[in-house]
Structure 1
Amino acid sequence: MAKAPNAFGAFFPMEEVKTAVENMADEQQNLLDERALAEATSDPAARIEALRREIEHHTYLYYAQDAPEISDGAFDSLMRELRELEAAHPELVDPSSPTQRVGGYVGEQFAPVRHARRMYSLDNAMDLEELDAWIERVTEAFGRMVPVVCELKIDGSSIALTYEDGRLVRAATRGDGTTGEDVTANMRTVKDVPLRLREAALGGLRDAAAPVELRGEVYMPKSSFDALNAAAVANGKQAFANPRNAAAGSLRQKDPAITANRDLSTFIYAVADERALAVEGQWELLAWLREAGFHVNPDVELCETREAVHAFCERAIERREALPYEIDGVVVKVNAFAQQESMGYTARAPRWAVAFKFPPEEKTTLLHDITVQVGRTGKLTPVAEMEPVVVAGSTVARATLHNEDEVQRKDVRVGDTVIVRKAGDVIPEVLGPVLALRPADAAVWRMPATCPSCGSPVIREEGEVDFRCISIDCPAQALERLLHWASRGAMDIDGMGEEIVSRLVESGRLTDVADYYTLDEVELALLDMGRVNKDGEPIRLGSTVAKKLVAAIDGSRARPFSRALFGLGIRHVGKTIAELLAAAYPSIEALMEASEEDLAALDGVGPKIARSVYLFLRTPDNAAVIERLRKRGVAMADEAADPDEQLPQTLEGLTFVLTGSLVESGMTRDEAGAALKARGAKVSGSVSKKTSYVVAGEAAGSKYDKAVTLGVPVLDEAALLRILETGEVPE
């Protein structure tokens, strides 16, 4: 039981801890001896229950109160006795026993679990000005500044824990907000999750027998993350990008014993339905959660002024690096539940809470080289190769520099010390050099005259910023085209990632996209992955993965024609243009017969795209690949629609934009878009003043914000379903 840090990451002095632990060990051994004599009984059930209560008590003191009373050795002694008694009396084993935190293999994990209430996202305040705007809206709603609770925003994986009769019965991931995945077996292994609520807190439940769903974050401490990645690298495995991904991945292990070894922790801070508890607000809820045995972050504050909120946020920014876990902001919530209810929700988030996001973290590191990456259309992209540096919780070693003009604008040179950040805490970005540290011989970087992949000349067309390789036999383009064909939005061959595709290309088994449809289970299972095991034998892909890949490949044959058209990687043809072309020419034969003028006349195409499509389809090598695809069963045409079954075109003239996830219907945005188009609507990928409606699902992003700014009507998913059912738009 390694000791956790106290508030804001400050650790107790190690010498004091050592002395205190030694004293506690001696005192506790005497206590245990007395207890053993006092509680010796011929009733093993009573002794087992007493041991469970004792262990639960010390677990609560350790994790929830940060105030252990006994040493690790004394705690282990209690656990050992309990295990021995349960082994001798298996009929007395209970799922909520502390010994049952690590169970056996569970094959039916990850079944869907519907949350008691939707788990909403939070609106973001990107700076103090936006935070003040939210405070002003709250103040206007109540005519005064009301108390708010400030909490650290833990950068982990959301979890929902359900208790019935005070016992943990279910744990589920956030999923799409409405339905998550069942990870109960794995969450039982997380030591700071109480398997039973403490009796002292049961009185806070309005109905102790009714289920209550409590929510929080599962996270991996920084030190544990570093150790996990070090072990992964030592064993030749892929390292996790950041602690958040490591926590999420650890929750989805098929073997709970693996999860148990990942050193996960939790902070619990919410209840799905506040009516289940006899508390009036967030501050009382946090106190009840601590009393119930949960690990609650100690760094919270009840604030009654704007200045107090600002001070909390500023302290959090200052202490961010010192904390033993990752945070990416501060969550500010209206305290009183009644006031929360009166403010309500938008389509995507509660109005009574906001996430103040930290300014992008900036670090400096050394730029070792600028390499060139060749894309599937031959585009050459300069990439910064840097000394690895941890930025916003993950290691950054590479970042795109976009094009030669951008390199010149930023004046970035090999050998520079550069400033790096993550745009939106996600995408690595090089801001520029530290000129004072520039080496005297640092040279201005220029795009090479030949392709680094095939050695062919590169060109830069007039009016364009990008350089391109003009060789159709360029190996780099082949790899990118193969990956694009298998990607989501194209043919969606699940599991066909870069590592597997690269090995298939290197082995000569894949040269173009038509070759996907000649792969079989046996050769995929035997595919050499370029690594060896501890015995020096080559690691193979394996039959399990091979079987799934073949099934995914077979399933992709029936994708709509527009998906195949997009997957071919024709320059300037994205998903929307592919759908438009497929609607006008519902077969590859019809599209290949269309003239350049016919294509240019289509609304939304124009001469530039028309020429690109026309030339691509008339290139002999490309036409040969298309013919092989058709012969191997890939749908290169859409079934002709029955005119009698065509829906009334009641949405003609209207433009919709879809954003976020559609959770109630389970539709993808593509499916919803197709349903709208079937009634005559146009579906766009961007919001403008000409947009008729924006449909905002779960976790709607910047398109929702732009719609609000432009005054474009925003519909929720329920309104969308009514439109699709009735064909009528809202008044």
Structure 2
Amino acid sequence: MTEKIERKINQLKEKLNKWNNDYYVLNQPSVDDLEFDSTMKELIDLETQYPQFKTPDSPTQKVGGSVENIFTKHKHKYQMLSLANAFNFDDLEAFDTKIKKELEEKPYSYFVEPKIDGLSISLIYENGKLVKGVTRGDGIVGEDVTNNIFTIKSIPKTINNNDKYFEVRGEVYLSKKEFDKINAKKFENGEMLFANPRNAASGTLRQLDSEIVKKRNLDIWTYFLMNKEHIETHEESLKFLNDLGFQINPLSKHCQNINNVKEQIGYLNEIRDSLEYEIDGIVIKVNEFEYYDILGNTSKFPKWAIAYKFPAEIKETKLLDIFPTVGRTGRITYNAKLKPVKLAGSNVKAATLHNSYFIRDKDIRIGSTVKIKKAGDIIPEVLDSIKDTNYESLPIWTESNLCPSCQNKLERFEGEVDQYCVNIECPRKIIRSLEHFASRDAMNIEGLSIKIIEKLFANKYIVKISDIYKLTNFKNELIMLDKFGEKSVNNLLKSVERSKTNLFEKLIFGLGIRHIGKKTAYIIAKNFKNIDNIINANFEDLSKIRDVGPIVAKSIKDWFEIDQNINLINDLKSLNINMNFSGTDVIENNNITSKNFVITGTLSKPRNHFKDLLAKYGANISESVSKNTDYVLAGEEAGSKLEKAKKLNVKILSETELEKLIKEENND
């Protein structure tokens, strides 16, 4: 029994760690708040019941963020904690009961503030001058984003205070208007859209180019003063900060008791859609500072504060149509076309319906009124149809039998609920597979966005993966295409050429074989060493490898049994694409692995020495500096590449600093 519980706890930890990484590091949330919070609560309950399985590295014991190596690390003088959550008024009552018990009937009150959907930041002043801005990171160490902080107009750069060390904390955010403008521009450029204003704010503040940050008009609400020795209440501290020129949210309010807190929650929930910025809940703090030491904190949360999370917003609207789309693996996703409705601060016209089993199980019908949910994150989803008087007269929905792109018959694999288009010549599948092949985690071909791919595909310059490496034959024609130019084409062709020498595992991942992620691609490359060995491997050879197993083995065998895929491999071979494992295991190093390096200038050893060294730790080596460059290793007489790196605020390393990066990680 205990083994089963321990296994369940470990599974929950793995899920939450992945979701935290998606949210805080990648700025690409993969689940909505409701699912994340319920999973976290399940883990908390199990760890409470079985404390022998609670470990220091559990997501319940640490702040959710992490520190990216593109910025200088900064250790916080005072730990930046997260907040425990309340999901209903019963949770609030329980919080109030604990406060009352700990304070032994001492008089106390609360201060309530809107919970801004943004990024926490620490602002540090010395003798009245702003000297540093640091993200929360993992709560102990954050990222130094000072250059970007200086672009935010609402942050005072000097204050009338002469303390040698003065620290203020706030939430950097984007208004709904600015968020819509940024996403409209990204859509126009064929780039991935931000999921919500919080991720847009985070992605902006962690830009290497401060000019981009400046254009995006970030803003801030200040919410906490660390230098509070001579101030008695949180309310007074915010007034003090306001007098110094810091922005304090006008909807913040002092509440005498928990009932007043509930009233304010009700009011803010009513007006939240009309605000110019997103809020996803309410923060409640004990107002009196004298009680903070008595109440204390856990390793993750202060016990004198809690965040009330608004329940997932559910709206009703009319379902106008159901239509399928096809992804790169051929998997069919069903989508809802909706009568536009305002939901979680945005105008929603479409939502996901997952697969045909979901639609049939819920008996969702076109023309019915449906409930949709969007908990402040992710693509909206249809929950159910409302079975009203109109519903029974509507026709029962039936699944599509043909691919929406190529009209080939759809198939369903044994044991799976999803439908698939198995036509390897399906246009939409090809476009999506080309996008995947060129993506950063695969062959990392800069300049080959989905919009560019669609244009090249429409003009028949690329109709299969190997055509990417033949684009040089059409250089003059590409230059003449709309919105192309000689510089863009030259940069694209250089990136294509560089990708030929990529690590073998990147090619395997880029081929888009079902069930083959980055980790599995590396395992396959390491075990079989080259493409011919993979092609000739039998099912038993593949399935006996640890972390591969029968499902992945079958997927690999099926892929290589298709003649057109073998033709693709032969075509890529003739184009000199690397199809051999490097022969050495990559040494995992969080400072270097998967980071993009450019080497320039005269160094103490031949350049190939440093290329081999970086490859040993799994780095990507590029010949040109771009916004995607993580580090530039610069020697003497470094020229234009160094200047461009400075302009883009790319981290520049000396040989000594590179050695330090390697040793720092190895000593951890």
What TM bracket, shorter-length normalisation? 0.5 to 0.7
CA distance in 2, matches of 1:409, 1:371: 17
CA distance in 2, matches of 1:616, 1:558: 23
- Within a 5 Å distance, the mapping from 1:201-220 to structure 2 comes to 202=161, 208=162, 210-220=164-174
Please name the residue that 1:568 is paired with. Answer: 511
Q: 1:329 to 1:626 in 2, by over 3 A?
A: same
CA distance in 1, matches of 2:148, 2:82: 23
Letter in 2 for 1:464: E
Please name the residue that 2:524 is paired with. Answer: 581
Q: 1:640 to 1:526 in 2, by over 3 A?
A: closer
Please name the residue that 1:270 is paired with. Answer: 224
The alignment status of 1:314 with 2:258, answered yes or no, reads no
CA distance in 2, matches of 1:112, 1:528: 43
Please name the residue that 2:483 is paired with. Answer: 539
Please name the residue that 2:112 is paired with. Answer: 150
Task: Report the more deviating stretch, 435-444 or 597-606.
Answer: 435-444
Give the C-alpha shift of residue 443 in structure 1: 2.4
CA distance in 2, matches of 1:158, 1:646: 33
Please name the residue that 2:460 is paired with. Answer: 508
The alignment status of 1:368 with 2:299, answered yes or no, reads no
Give the C-alpha shift of residue 511 in structure 1: 2.7
Please name the residue that 1:92 is paired with. Answer: none
CA distance in 2, matches of 1:346, 1:578: 40
Please name the residue that 1:400 is paired with. Answer: 352
Please name the residue that 2:533 is paired with. Answer: 590
Secondary structure of the residue that 2:265 maps to in structure 1?
helix
Please name the residue that 2:382 is paired with. Answer: 430
Give the C-alpha shift of residue 610 in structure 1: 1.8
Give the C-alpha shift of residue 520 in structure 1: 5.5
Please name the residue that 2:24 is paired with. Answer: none
Q: 1:508 to 1:315 in 2, by over 3 A?
A: same
Contact kept in structure 1, 2:151 and 2:210, CA below 8 Å: no
Contact kept in structure 2, 1:376 and 1:569, CA below 8 Å: yes
CA distance in 2, matches of 1:154, 1:266: 9
Pick the aligned partner of 2:156 from 185, 194, 202: 194
Please name the residue that 2:13 is paired with. Answer: none
Per-residue CA distance 1:175-208 (angstroms, 9 max, x = gap): 78711434458635x3x443432x4xx3xxxxx1
Secondary structure of the residue that 1:320 maps to in structure 2?
helix
Contact kept in structure 1, 2:174 and 2:217, CA below 8 Å: yes
- Within a 5 Å distance, the mapping from 1:463-474 to structure 2 comes to 463-474=415-426
Pick the aligned partner of 2:442 from 484, 487, 490: 490
Pick the aligned partner of 1:385 from 307, 324, 337: 337
The alignment status of 1:620 with 2:620, answered yes or no, reads no
Q: Which runs of 5+ in 2 are unaligned?
A: 1-69, 597-615, 617-662
CA distance in 2, matches of 1:594, 1:394: 51
CA distance in 2, matches of 1:500, 1:318: 44
* Aligned residues: CA RMSD: 4.6
Contact kept in structure 1, 2:183 and 2:194, CA below 8 Å: no
Please name the residue that 1:355 is paired with. Answer: 307
Pick the aligned partner of 1:415 from 367, 371, 377: 367
Contact kept in structure 2, 1:116 and 1:213, CA below 8 Å: no
Letter in 1 for 2:237: L
Secondary structure of the residue that 1:316 maps to in structure 2?
helix
Q: Which runs of 5+ in 1 are unaligned?
A: 1-109, 203-207, 530-537, 648-661, 672-677, 679-720, 727-731
Q: TM-score, with normalisation over the residues of structure 2?
A: 0.66
Q: 1:723 to 1:523 in 2, by over 3 A?
A: closer
Letter in 2 for 1:215: R
Task: Report the more deviating stretch, 356-365 or 246-255.
Answer: 246-255
Please name the residue that 1:12 is paired with. Answer: none
CA distance in 1, matches of 2:490, 2:233: 52
Per-residue CA distance 1:528-568 (angstroms, 9 max, x = gap): 78xxxxxxxx433673x656655655565555433432322
Contact kept in structure 2, 1:524 and 1:541, CA below 8 Å: no
CA distance in 2, matches of 1:153, 1:222: 15
Contact kept in structure 2, 1:222 and 1:325, CA below 8 Å: yes
Give the C-alpha shift of residue 329 in structure 1: 0.7
Letter in 2 for 1:588: I
Give the C-alpha shift of residue 455 in structure 1: 1.7
Q: 1:222 to 1:523 in 2, by over 3 A?
A: same
Q: Kindly, what percent of the aligned residue pairs are identical?
A: 34
Secondary structure of the residue that 1:471 maps to in structure 2?
coil
Q: TM-score, with normalisation over the residues of structure 1?
A: 0.61
CA distance in 1, matches of 2:667, 2:73: 27
Pick the aligned partner of 2:142 from 178, 187, 194: 178
CA distance in 2, matches of 1:277, 1:541: 61
Please name the residue that 1:705 is paired with. Answer: none
Q: 1:250 to 1:582 in 2, by over 3 A?
A: closer
Contact kept in structure 2, 1:113 and 1:181, CA below 8 Å: no
- Within a 5 Å distance, the mapping from 1:289-328 to structure 2 comes to 289-303=241-255, 305-328=257-280
Per-residue CA distance 1:20-67 (angstroms, 9 max, x = gap): xxxxxxxxxxxxxxxxxxxxxxxxxxxxxxxxxxxxxxxxxxxxxxxx
Give the C-alpha shift of residue 350 in structure 1: 5.1
- Within a 5 Å distance, the mapping from 1:71-150 to structure 2 comes to 114=74, 116-117=76-77, 119=80, 121-131=82-92, 147-150=109-112
Q: 1:623 to 1:437 in 2, by over 3 A?
A: same
